[in-house]
Amino acid sequence: MTHYLYLVRHGEHLDAEHGLVDGPLSPRGRRQAALLADRLSGVPFDAVWHSPLERAEETARAVAERLPSVAPQPTSLLFDCVPTGMTDDTPGIYEAFFGAYTEADIEAGSAQMADAVAEFLVRKPDAHELLITHNFVIGWFVREVLGAAPWRWLTINQAHCGLTVLAQRPGRPWSLVSHNDLAHLPFELRTGLPGFPPI
């Protein structure tokens, strides 16, 4: 009777290194998505949700090819966003990062993630749901489940098509089963993490 949430960051998108906000998956991103789909093919998903952005939608389509009984659905709750701004306890090193976002961006991100938590971190008995979304969104969900300080989402990162699993058993709080599992990806496809691969 456990409720499982499988959180996946989209595959690498084309020309991401040139600063494009969105786009189709790169050849490497398509390989990541196909291997993710193979990894998840035996899970009895009740629902597959994805961000409306192209890179997440295309990743969801790759999964759906292996899971023909499930139709992926877009939701604006999984858009890429910035869930908080600087707080009193946020390390000063992050000031430059937040300088790229307006107060309106941060207010919208905060409201979106409050709604996402209310929608998805609500127990459903014996359910398996897949959310294909973005790095910051997954970081926020993990931070929420762990009860960490609001700014800590900044320090929780996922690789492209990395797999994070949350679970809730009856009468218990949500738990982090695994984070950023990359077992399905060969070393050369493990992209998207800051400072990785290690030198």
Q: Residue 132 corresponds to which tokens in the numbers above?
A: 């294909």
121-126's contacts with Cβ under 8 Å and 24+ in sequence apart are 121/5, 121/145, 121/166, 121/168, 121/174, 123/3, 123/168, 123/170, 124/3, 124/46, 125/1, 125/3, 125/170, 126/1, 126/2, 126/3
* Residue 16 in domain: yes
What is the pLDDT, as a whole number, of residue 150?
96
State the number of CA atoms in the 13 A half-sphere of 77 facing the CB.
15
To the nearest 5 percent, what fractions of the chain are helix, strand and coil? 40, 15, 45
Domain of residue 54, CATH code:
3.40.50.1240
> Where does the chain have alpha helices with state H?
27-40, 54-66, 95-98, 103-120, 135-146
* Residue 12 in domain: yes
What is the pLDDT, as a whole number, of residue 20?
64
- 65 vs 39: CA distance, rounded Å: 13
Residue-level pLDDT, tens digit, the chain, 199 residues: 899 999 999 999 987 655 667 789 999 999 999 999 999 999 999 999 999 999 999 999 999 998 888 899 999 999 999 999 999 999 999 999 999 999 999 999 999 999 999 999 998 889 999 999 999 999 999 999 999 999 999 999 999 999 999 999 999 999 999 999 999 999 999 999 876 655 4
- Structural domain containing residue 76: 1-82+118-129+183-192
Cβ-count burial 117-151 (b if 16+ within 10 Å, e if not): beebbeeeeebbbbbbbbbbbbbbbbbbbeeeebb
What is the pLDDT, as a whole number, of residue 199?
42
When divided into structural domains, the chain yields a total of 1
* Residue 149 in domain: no
What is the pLDDT, as a whole number, of residue 19?
62
The type of residue at 110 is S
* Residue 101 in domain: no
What is the pLDDT, as a whole number, of residue 15?
73
This prediction has a pTM of 0.94
* Residue 19 in domain: yes
What is the pLDDT, as a whole number, of residue 69?
83
* Residue 50 in domain: yes
